[in-house]
Structure 1
Amino acid sequence: MTVTNKSFIKKTILYNNHICLGAKMVNYSGFYMPLQYNSSLAEHMSVRNSAGIFDVSHMGKFILKGKNSEKLIQYLTTNDLSTVKIGQAQYTCFINNIGGIIDDLVIYKISYHEFLLIVNASNIEKNKKWINDHIKKYKYDDLKLIDTSLEYSLLAIQGPLSLFYAQKLTDIFLDKISFYHFQIGKFSGIKDVLISRTGYTGSKGIEIYVSNKNAEKIWNDILKMDKDQILPCGIASRNSLRLEMGYRLYGQDIFETITPIEAHLSWIVKFNKEFIAKKILQKQKKEGTYQKFISFVIEDKNKIPRKGYLFIDENNINIGHVTSGVYSPVLKKGIGLGYLINHNKRNSVFILIRKKKIPIQIVKLPFIKVSN
C-alpha cells in the first residue's frame, strides 16, 4: 500500500530505536518500518543460524469478547476453531461471499469467550468492518470488538538460539510451550505478557504481545544480551525468510479474488462446519480450479524471479505469473511462488526474465527444512 502524504504514515512505538540502529525506513502497509539495518543477508542468516528480533507492531490486534465470539468466528473463517483449546493459537482466513480471502490471520484463544486476532496491517479497517457488520447482522449484542492495534506492540524473536536467550528473561519454560500455543506471564520483569510459539520465519522462536509502554524495554533487553548472535531484522529479511518456507503474503500471493483452495491452503478449510461460501469451496475442492498455486526454483543461480514475471510454455504462450520471488540465502538460488492457468494442460513451464526463457523446477513446500 502506497501512501503519498507522509503525515498519514504511522510509526510503531520503536520507530526511534530503529533510527538509532541505522535502519533504512520505508513505508510498508501504511507504517514506517525498517527495511534493513545493515545487511538483509546477514539478518536472514542470523535467524537461520542464531537469532534475530523483529518489530512487527504494525500488525492489527483485535480482541473479540462475548459468549457468541466463537460462533461468529467459526462462521467467518474456514478453519475449525472448536478444536482450539485455551492457550492455543490457530492459523486461518476470513473469506468473502464468493470464497475469496479477505485476510489470513492467527487467532489466540484467551478464554472460552475471548479471542485475540492478529491480522495484516493493510487490512485492519476492512477486517474491523467485516466483523462488526456481521455482529450487527446477527444481532450479537453480547459481542464487543476492541481494536488494540495502536496500543500494543508485537515483537518476534526467531532463530535456533531464540529460546535460549529469551529464557533468561522469563520464568516460563519456553521449550515446554508447544508450537502454536502460548502462555501469559512475566517477561523481562513485565507482567501479563503474552508469549506464543509462533512466527513468520519457520525457524524456532516466539512472538511477544505487550503494551506499547513496555515494548522498548523488552526490545533493548533482548538486543543487549549478545550483539554478535542476536541481530535486529527488517522486513527485507522477513520476506526472504517467509519465502523459504512458502508462507503466503497477503496482497501478493493471496487476495480477495483468490480462494484458499486455489492458494493451496486446503488444510485450513474444514468442511465439517458451516462457514461463508462453503459450497463454493466444496465445489472447487471436488472439481479442481482454473488456476493453480505453485512453488518453484530456478537452477541458474544468476536468475532471480520477481513479482509480476510471466510464466510461459514451450510455445511462448503466457500461462501465469509470479506473485513472490527472491534469492534464497540458504539454497543460494532463486525461489518463488505464483499461479498457473489451466495447469492440467501444461507440460514444461518457463519463466520470462529480461526477455529470456528460463526453465523452472516446480517443487513442494517448504523450500528448506528447519526446526521449530
Structure 2
Amino acid sequence: MPLLQRDDEQGPRTRRQVEMDAARQRLEMEDRAGMGATAAAEAPTGPSSEMNLAAVLAAMQASMEAARREQEANQRKLQDLIAANQEEARREQEANQRKLQDLIAANQEEARREQEAARREQEEARREQEAARREQEANQRKLQDLIAANQEEARRDQEAKQNLILEKIDYGLVTLGEKVKNLTLEVKEVSARADSLETRMEDRLLDINKKIIKLEAREPVAVSAPSHTHCASAAKFDMPRFDGTSSWTAFKYQFQTLVKTNRWDDDQSFAALTLALRGDALLVLENLPSDGRTLERLMEGLDTRYGDKHLEHVFRAQLRERTQRSNESLQQWGVEHSSTVYGILKSGLRCDSDTTKL
C-alpha cells in the first residue's frame, strides 16, 4: 500500500492508477467482510449453534481460503498493474528524455545557426570595413592627384610668368640691340670723323716724323723711365703698358691709334708692343714659336687670351644654366639675365630674340 501511495504522489493520475485504486478498495472491502464474518462467528451463541460450529469454521476457512486466493490473485493483478505502470512510466520517461534531447539538439542547432548568422554579420562588417578602407585609399589618391595637379598648374603659371618676363626681356634686348646698332653707326661716324682728323694730323706729322727719323739715324734711342715705354718713331707719344689686368680692348684701341698716327710698319709695331707687355702678358710672347714671332700672331694670341670673344662660351653657359633661385624674385632674375646678355652684346656676338634661349 505505501508503494501505491508513493505512485499517487508522483504526478497526475492515469487510467492504470485509477484501476489500481479501485482494486485496492475492493481488497479492503473484502478484508472488512472477512473480518466481520469472523467476528460474527466468534460472537457467543446458544447451545443449538455448537453443532454447526464445525461447519461454520469449515465455511469460514473455505471463505478465508477463497479470500486469500482472491487476495493473492488481486495482488498478482496489482503487481502486474504496478509493473505495467512502471513500464509505462519508464516509456514516458524515455519519451520525455527523447523530447528533452530533441529540444537540446534543437536549441544547439538554433545556437549554431545564431553563431553562423553572427559570423556572417562579422564577415559582412569586415567586408564593409574593407570597402571603406578602399574608398578612403581612393579618396587619398584623388586628393594626391588633385594636389599634384594644383602644383603642376602653379608651376605652369610660374613658367608662364617667367616666359612673359623673358619675352619682355627679349623685347628689351631687341630694343637694346637696335640702340646698339644705332650707337655703332654713330661710333662709325665718329670714327670716320676721327679718321679724317687723323689723316689731316698725319699729313702735318709726316714732316715731323721724317725729321725725327733723320735725328734717330744720327743718335741712338734711349728708353725712358719705367712708367712708360718710348718707341723709336714715337718720341712724342708715350706707349702705355699692358699686364693682363686692364682692358685689352682699350689697350688695343690705343695701340692701333699709335700705330696709325706714327705710321709704324709691322716690325716697329711688334717692337713697340713687345716693350709694352708686362707680367702675365709676357707669357703670350714667350709661348710663340721663335720663327713665328710676328705682330699678327702676337695680336691673335693676346686676343685669344684677353679678348672678349673667348668669353662667348662662358656667357652661353651662364644663360643656359642660370635658373631662378628659391629666394630670388623674377625681377632680380631678369636683371641678372639682362646683364649677361649685355655682356654678349658687348663682346660683339649676334643678339636677336633667341639669345636668351641658348
Question: Is the TM-score greater than 0.5?
Answer: no
- Scaled by the length of structure 2, the TM-score of the pair is 0.19
Instruction: Report the TM-score, using the length of structure 1 for normalisation.
Output: 0.18
Q: Which is richer in helix?
A: 2
